[in-house]
Structures are given as C-alpha cells and as structure tokens.
Chain A
Amino acid sequence: MTDSITKIQNCRLIRDGQIVHDDVLFIQSGKIVDAQSHFYRMGSKPSKIIDAQGLIIAPGYIDVQINGAFGVDFSNWVGEEKMRENIDIVAKELLRFGCTSFAPTIVSSSPEIYHKVLPLLKPRKGNKNNGSEILGAHVEGPFICQDKSGAHPKELLVDAPKGFADIARVYGITETENPSIRIITVAPELEGIQNLFKKFIELGMTVSIGHSCALVEQAERAVESGARFITHLFNAMQQFHHRDPGIIGLLSTTHLSRPYYGLICDGIHVHPNSVKLAYSAHPSGVVLVTDAVGAMGLPPGEYKIGTAKIRKIDDYRVEVIDNGRLAGSVVSISECVRNFKKFTGCSIVEAVEAATKHPAELLGIENRKGTLSYGADADLIFLDDDLNVIRCFISGEEVDIGST
C-alpha cells in the first residue's frame, strides 16, 4: 500500500545548515522520504515530477506567537461556530506567507475566555483542508507583571498565590490534563510561579518568560527552573542596563544553557540595530515571531480589534486611533525573515533557520518540523533569492497561494 512518490527536482535545498545546490527532494504520504533507500530497497520510482526551476526549498515557517490575522482575533470570543470558522480562516490564509505551523496566541484574558477558546486550539495536523498546522496555544499571560503589561489589560493580570490551583482555575486545565497549551508566557518574579515550571513542563508546555520586570538574577533562576524561551525580547521587559541587564542578559549568560528568544522583526517593535545586537550575542537562539494582530493580512483602513478601534496605515504599522500607540504588529512571518536578513546581514540559511529550525527546536519538534530531513513533515516553501514565498506545500500537498 505504498503511496505514490513525488519528486521535486532542479532545486536548492536548505539542509544541515547549508544550501545544497541542484538537489532533489522526494515526498511520500505527506513526509520527506529517503529516496535513495527506497530506490535500492523497494525499487520505487516517482509518479510525479515537479520542476522547482532552481528555487530554494526550505521547510515551512513556524510562528510561535501570533494573536490573530485577517480580521480574526484569537482572544476575542465571538461564539463557538464563528470562532472555529475564524481559526480555519487564519490557518488557511497563513499559508500565503509560507507559515505552515503556528501557535495561536491568547493575550491576558478572563478565565471564561480561556475555558471557551483553549478547547478550540488543540494541536491539529496541517494539511490542504485544515491549512497551517496548529501546534497548540500560546498563553501570553495573565500571570505577568503589572508594570510590563504592554497592551494587555491590567485589570486581568493575576498572581498565583495558591500555586497550581490558580493556574488550573484560570486556564481550565488539571494536574494531569492539558489538551491545548503549548507555550506559557509568565513573569518569573511573580511569587511562587517558578516552583510551577516543572509542572508546566510535565504537562507539555514550553515555559517562556516575558512581560516581566525580572532582574538578571531572577531571570537566570527562571532558566535554572526550566524556562527555555524569552517572549518578544526587548519588548515589555526591564531594559538593558550594564549593571543589571535583566532578562536581556540571558543572551550572554555563561554558566547556563541560553534560552531561545523571540524577536518581532517588523523593524518597528525592535530597532534593526537591536535585532543585530541580540543576534550577534546569541545567533543559535533567535526565533522570529510576528506577534501579529487581527489587522495583519488586511488592506490599510480602520478596524476594530477587541474593543479598540485601530487604524492600519501600511504593511508595517497599526495604531490605536484614540492615542496613536502601536497596536501590535501586522508583519507576516515571511516579511520578518526578509527583514531579519537585511537587519543582520546574515545568510539566507541563517535567516530561514530563525523561523524554522530554531522554533522547532524550541518546541522539541525538530525531527518533524523546521527541517528537510527524512521523516519530517513535507511542509515546504519555495523561495526566490529575495526570500519571497513562491510556492507552498503542506503535508506534501501544494496549496494555491496566488503568489505574485
């Protein structure tokens, strides 16, 4: 019952940290397969040949922090049916930008929202029908610092004085069951929260620190307790000070394994020079995130996201109409990758890995996602030399992304 094999030829592959020229890639049953072994052992041959016309083939992008897009806001409850519909819209449309896996992110909300939304954000396989793969939810808050709330509503931020009982109550999970949460962003200085990291990890969550006033010592303790990620580095945290570099100081810690760190690479949330600074300090830890809001993917104009009225000015900037503040990012992940290459002067491979290999490693799914290794999901993007996404495959099937 061997499924048919598709051969993609005349391509450049991003594999093992380099571009392999004039290579071929074989996919079967939605996976990348070791065609050599198939050829010699089973005598199987491809039934379909795709000419990539010299384009670069990379694994699909992974976005571990995205609040919404295409008019949809994951934190805004609009009824179950509409909510499901919305999630599908985003999952499908994200493929246009080469994003084949994402962690829908919920900003600090009331317990009722979590109880209703989280069950809809369980991991879901990506394919032509579902669209981009849902990796599980990223809950950003509400266990974060009042002084670094960013755009999160302060009145919803909470502590966890009763330990895990508070966590369970807010998110609607139990000591043994966590069907949806993949990443949890907390402020490590909240009392008692670090003692829960072990429990979070047991429940399959990746612990991230952010929206926090933590000093470097607290941040390092958080890493010792199991934190592996920094939520949007530079944004919503203690700024770099040479006598106490705070969370940012984790990038150059010497005695701990350094955490991965998210960077909103729209050129606005983090200055290009700061992007390069972070990257120079810890190149293998960078994870590009969009932190996009509902206006991403929509034409410029006025929109309502949650309760706030916003204006999207161009492809980079949205502001709250009332006060002119930044209202989140509207950048796409493919734009982030292009920006990142421009800002840091890194190679194509390094730029792509910041949105593929690194986020996959962060979530411990590097054998399945973010790689073109044998056995990985055949989530592929075809890129030109300017890193524009020309074609997109998910689980081995091509989707029409109407590229220009």
Chain B
Amino acid sequence: MRLIIRKDYDEVSEHMASYIRDRILEFNPTEERPFVLGLPTGSSPVGVYKNLVKYYRNNQLSFRNVVTFNMDEYVGLPRDHPESYHSFMWNHFFKHIDILPQNVHLLDGNAEDLDMECVRYEESIKKAGGIELFLGGIGPDGHIAFNEPGSSLTSRTRVKTLAYDTILANSRFFGNDINKVPRMALTVGVGTVMEAREVAIIITGAHKALALAKCIEEGVNHMWTVSAIQLHQKALIACDEDATLELHVKTVKYFMNIEKVQKELVGMQNVGLQGNIKRYATPDVSPTRKEFYGVPFKK
C-alpha cells in the first residue's frame, strides 16, 4: 500500500485527479478496450471531480472511452431527486465532460427487484472486464461505500440498511428531517471494491484521523471496513496532514520517506505511476544524493 500525504484537501484532490488522469492516459483506452473506473459520491471526491473537469476543459483528458461504475445509490429516492447519487454525479461530473451515456453505470434504487438489480450490476462489471481503478472515500467510522462497520469484507453488491449514525448525518441533506432520509441503499460490497485492479482512497480531515489509523495501523477488521485494503496488492491512500493526526510518527515518516527516496535517490523518471520501480538508477544519475545522505558519495 502507498500512503501519499499532502498538505490539505485541495492538494490531495489535485494529486488524486492528476494520478487518475495519468493512469487513463497511460492506459490509452479505446472503444474496444475502455478504462473502467469505479467512482464514489460524497464530499471527499468533489475536489477530484473538479480537477478532472478542468483537465477535460484544457483538452488534457477525454472520457470518451472511459466506463464508470458508481458505488451506491439510495433505495426509493427518485432518480431526479437533488440528493440522489444520480444527481450528484450529473452535477459534479457527468454534465461537464464528454462521457457517453451508455458508459455510465449507477445502481437503480427504484428497481422492482432490488436483489436482481445487484446481481445484474455485478455482472455488468464483469462484462466490462472488471474495474481498473476504484476511487473511494471513507466515513469517519472507516466505511467504504455503504459498507458500514460489521459488513463482511468479502461482501458483494447488495441492499443495505443504513446505520442510525449515517441516517442522522445525512439528514442535513434532507431539510434536517430524519424521516425524509432513505433508510436503505444499494451498494457495492467490500469484495467488489477490493476486486478492482487498483484501489485509491481519499481521506481528509481531522475527523477521519482515527479511521485512517484503524485502517492501516491495526489488523484487518470488519469494524473498519477499509482496513481490507491491507490485503490489496495495488492500493493507494491519499490523505491530508489533518488525517494523519492519529497515526504513529513512525508510520508517517515511513511513507514520507518512501516518496523522498523515490524522488531524490531513484528519480521519478524511473518510477512507474503505480509506484513500481522501472529500473534501478545508479547513484551517479541522481543529482541530489549528496543532500540525501549528507555526505559525498564515493565510487
């Protein structure tokens, strides 16, 4: 797992957006071989979407051959309701870019047979060739999508009853009337997310510091569902400084050092996008080795 620490929400958003942009560009998607992207809703990804829209406007990036799958949607909320995740995705992302309507997938919370809808969703992910990169955020209790504490770490797309805390927190979007908040949602499972070839999570703010610590410093635990990320081969977490408040100094230093080594000793030109070392650089190549060791390098 990689942990990228940036100063604040804006820098985290920019880092994550440019990462997604570079991944798509490197993938070089075509109509036959599209880039399949998993997407979240909520406050965490808003900044990422903003930056992605900017790249689209600057002609740096096209979404013509990008296929998207969203994580979740409320049950029983009209699709056009301003708080539906359909509306969220439309307003923050889809309406601004050139994505094709047939390439966009969201769960239908108004389907007659909700179980069937979930099965169908898993199938369409499979049919699209699996998800190349799943972007996510987390809740203060470490949940991903609507997989709240106690969800099975191998869960698949299904109907979930929302935790009371979540309903309470969401009531602010429904005129502070708790009775208007949907009680159920369709959501991809932890297993569905972890099956993606890469998982990238944004965690920002002091209120999520505990969740970050629980998810990466302690064991894999269904009470902090994002901790399942520890078992993923290609996982990336981008967080801001506030979110590191509950981490050990050792943890923070370790991950900051990795970035430093890559940048200063290995050279970013030798590092793949996903953190893989493409070739080992001889120390001669690195101009800043002196700085790094504090002593001159001897041949």
A→B interface (CB under 8 Å): 9-10, 24, 34-37, 39-40, 42-45
Residues of chain A with a CB closer than 8 A to B90's CB: 35-36, 39-40
Contact status A36-B95, CB under 8 Å: yes
B→A interface (CB under 8 Å): 57, 79-80, 86-87, 90-91, 94-96, 100-102, 104, 106
Taking A40-B79, A40-B86 as contacts, is the C-beta distance between A35 and B101 under 8 angstroms?
A: no
Contact status B96-A43, CB under 8 Å: no
Least Cβ–Cβ distance between B51 and chain A, in angstroms? 13
Taking A36-B87, A36-B90, A37-B80 as contacts, is the C-beta distance between A44 and B101 under 8 angstroms?
A: yes
Contact status A39-B94, CB under 8 Å: yes
- Cα–Cα distance between A9 and B57 once the two chains are bound (Å): 10
Contact status B80-A24, CB under 8 Å: no
Q: Which residue of B lies closest to A49 (CB)?
A: B98
Contact status A36-B86, CB under 8 Å: yes
- Cα–Cα distance between A380 and B203 once the two chains are bound (Å): 42
Taking A43-B102, A44-B101 as contacts, is the C-beta distance between A35 and B79 under 8 angstroms?
A: no
- Cα–Cα distance between A10 and B97 once the two chains are bound (Å): 11
Q: Which residue of B lies closest to A35 (CB)?
A: B95
Q: How would you classify the secondary structure of chain A's contact residues: helix, strand, loop or mixed?
A: mixed
Contact status B57-A10, CB under 8 Å: yes
- Cα–Cα distance between A68 and B160 once the two chains are bound (Å): 66
Which of A9, A10, A24, A39 contacts B101, CB < 8 Å? A39
Residues of chain A with a CB closer than 8 A to B106's CB: 40
Least Cβ–Cβ distance between B186 and chain A, in angstroms? 15
- Cα–Cα distance between A34 and B78 once the two chains are bound (Å): 15
Contact status A9-B80, CB under 8 Å: no
Least Cβ–Cβ distance between A158 and chain B, in angstroms? 54
Residues of chain B with a CB closer than 8 A to A37's CB: 79-80
Q: Which residue of B lies closest to A37 (CB)?
A: B80
Contact status A9-B86, CB under 8 Å: no
Residues of chain B with a CB closer than 8 A to A39's CB: 90, 94-95, 101, 104
- Cα–Cα distance between A35 and B80 once the two chains are bound (Å): 11
Q: Which residue of A lies closest to B91 (CB)?
A: A36
Residues of chain A with a CB closer than 8 A to B102's CB: 43
- Cα–Cα distance between A34 and B96 once the two chains are bound (Å): 14
Q: Which residue of B lies closest to A42 (CB)?
A: B101
Give 20 new A-B contacts, CB below 8 A, not counting A24-B95, A34-B80, A36-B90: A9-B96, A35-B90, A35-B95, A36-B87, A36-B91, A36-B95, A39-B90, A39-B95, A39-B101, A39-B104, A40-B79, A40-B90, A40-B101, A40-B104, A40-B106, A42-B101, A43-B101, A43-B102, A44-B101, A45-B100
Least Cβ–Cβ distance between A45 and chain B, in angstroms? 6
- Cα–Cα distance between A35 and B94 once the two chains are bound (Å): 11
